């Protein structure tokens, strides 16, 4: 049985690529446009449009916090913020509660 494809992104190019799922001995993936490193984001990733600068900034914050878009058993990757306002709100929540930023970013409800 063959492996499926998964998504990789290049943040400077604002580009997303579907490639074969990484194996144990795979090399580091490089962007075909700029030759920079690609970030493995997972199979359940839907990229923002290339012109959507705010969407790519939001994605950059998520990826730098360690949040990825891997498939769950039947419900997909779960909640991910789509706007910079949602990201700011969740980062303020993490700072106020002292919890990890990555966990605050994927919370659907913020209970102050």
pLDDT score at 73 = 64
Contacts of 108 (CB under 8 A, 6+ apart): 78, 79
pTM tops 0.85: no
CA distance 109 to 112: 9
Task: For the chain, list residues with pLDDT below 70.
Answer: 1-3, 22-26, 72-77, 112
Sign of CA dihedral 60, 62, 68, 74: negative
Contacts of 35 (CB under 8 A, 6+ apart): none
């Amino acid at each position: 049985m063959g492996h499926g494809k998964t998504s990789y992104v290049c943040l400077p190019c604002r580009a997303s690529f579907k490639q074969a799922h990484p194996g144990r001995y795979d090399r580091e993936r490089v962007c075909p446009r700029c030759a920079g490193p690609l970030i493995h984001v997972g199979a359940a990733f839907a990229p923002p449009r290339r012109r959507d600068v705010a969407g790519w900034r939001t994605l950059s914050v998520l990826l730098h916090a360690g949040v990825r878009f891997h498939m769950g058993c039947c419900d997909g990757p779960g909640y991910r913020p789509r706007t910079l306002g949602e990201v700011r709100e969740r980062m303020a929540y993490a700072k106020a509660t002292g919890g990890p930023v990555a966990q605050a970013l994927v919370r659907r409800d913020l209970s102050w």
